[in-house]
Amino acid sequence: MKNSFLQFLKDILKELFSNKVNSFFMFLALTISLIALNTIYSLGLSAKKQVLDSLASVQFGKDAMLILAG
């Protein structure tokens, strides 16, 4: 069992290093997508915080209702 797992890992590494260009682009795409996801998530959190802070600054409580003429 252990020997087959080591052979499996050896085969995987051999394939990765034989296709260096494909591996590079795969890791590059993975890195860019993770950076994009983290950026979008942090922008959403900061927008949420900014909206809650602006509502708190005008003493607008959690159970209040805002009605605007339209």
Residues with Cβ within 8 Å of 66's Cβ and at least 6 positions away in sequence, in order, are: 60
CA distance to 36, 44, 61, 70, per residue, from 25 (Å): 16, 28, 50, 52
Q: Each residue of 2-51: pLDDT tens digit?
A: 789 999 999 988 888 888 888 899 999 999 999 999 999 999 999 999 98
The number of residues making up the chain comes to 70
Residue 1 has pLDDT above 90, yes or no: no
Determine the Cα–Cα distance for residues 17 and 11; give it in Å rounded to an integer.
10
Output the pTM of the full model: 0.58
Domain spans of the chain, in order of start: 2-57
Q: What is the pLDDT of residue 10?
A: 92
